[in-house]
Amino acid sequence: MRRKRMPINLDQIPSFEEHGNGFDQHSVLVEEIEGLIRVYGNGYVERPQIVPSVSNALPPELGVTSWDVVVDKLNNIWARFYIPTQCQEKLPLLVYFHGGGFCVGSATWSCYHEFLAKLSAKADCIIMSVNYRLAPENPLPAPYEDGLKTLQWLKQVAFNGAKQNWWSRYCDFTKIYLGGDSAGGNIAFNVAARLGGKTTASGAVVMKPLVIKGNILIQPFFGGESRTMSEKFLVQPPHSPLTTAVSDTYWRLALPSRANRDHPWCNPSANGVFEVEDLRVLPSLICISEMDILKDRNLEFCSALHRVGKLINYVVYEGVGHAFQVLNKSQLSQTRTLEMMDHIKDFLSV
């Protein structure tokens, strides 16, 4: 039975004096995903260092330069850039949001640092990996707001030209894409839905001087109160990064208080969201994993967009599960990751 997310009344938590010297309010555990996050009754959040955080250094042989920039100091939004070292012409820019159920993850995680550096080299593009605010301290729509602030920051950079940011000489601001994996895919989709500006005949959005051309959604994290077949019956290997129980916990922590999994931020297929005439959906590449519990939901998402005439293309990667491109080092996963990079490169070149 699904546990309801109930508001926490701190007045009901016994005080230190009531329990003696051995009592610690942190011991009142409200939510936990083993090894990733613990949330306590007094609002304290622990995130064990399950994935190493790394600097922006990269091996020279990779042919990619990386550095970090501050986007919004007040909200601690920053980004890690990747650009091919031998860049001689203007390149498309992929604004990328990492996964982690909105609750964990970082642009400093070694798995993202490695994946995005290789993607920059393989797809010949500049990548801006955004470090956004996390739930439950900052529930939805905070990450969507952070994505919009990032685009506003890019607008200012584009207006200033190369005066303050040398890399902007090599960035084609008329070829900007929003992307991400898992929760990051959800963020990219919802940021696109909130974009201002005019829409071109090709579906791109003009935010002068920026042109946002498309979405790259890798295993986008959506849910719903009714289970899909893959959520109910697809058996996951031990230590899978996403099970139905883990998914439910992420949504309880990320959604607004008292919202359920049919909230449009979780389930855009519910309540006729896709039938809204002015729903802004960019031309999209949607990457789906065959062994992912999100497979059926991602396919339903594609079908819903297709029915309302949105320009989408999707690929199903056989034999691999959720987040294989960043968390699985098997030979099959590496092969599928290279295939994904090729598909992304083709999409960026349109």
User: Which residues are part of the catalytic machinery?
Assistant: 182, 292, 322
CB crowding 335-345: b at 16 or more within 10 Å, else e: ebbebbbebbe
Angle among Cα 150, 253, 42 to the nearest 5 degrees reads 110
> One-letter amino acid identity for 120?
S
Beta strands in the chain (DSSP E): 29-33, 37-40, 45-46, 64-72, 77-84, 91-97, 126-131, 171-181, 198-199, 205-207, 210-218, 284-289, 312-317
Question: Which residue in the block uniquely carries the two structure tokens 């998914």?
Answer: 247
Strand 198-199 with 205-207, pairing: antiparallel
124 phi and psi, to 5 degrees?
Answer: 55, 60
Question: Which residue in the block uniquely carries the two structure tokens 């920026």?
Answer: 210
For the purposes of burial, counting CB atoms within 10 Å of the CB of 261, is it exposed (0-12), middle (13-18) or buried (19 or more)?
A: buried
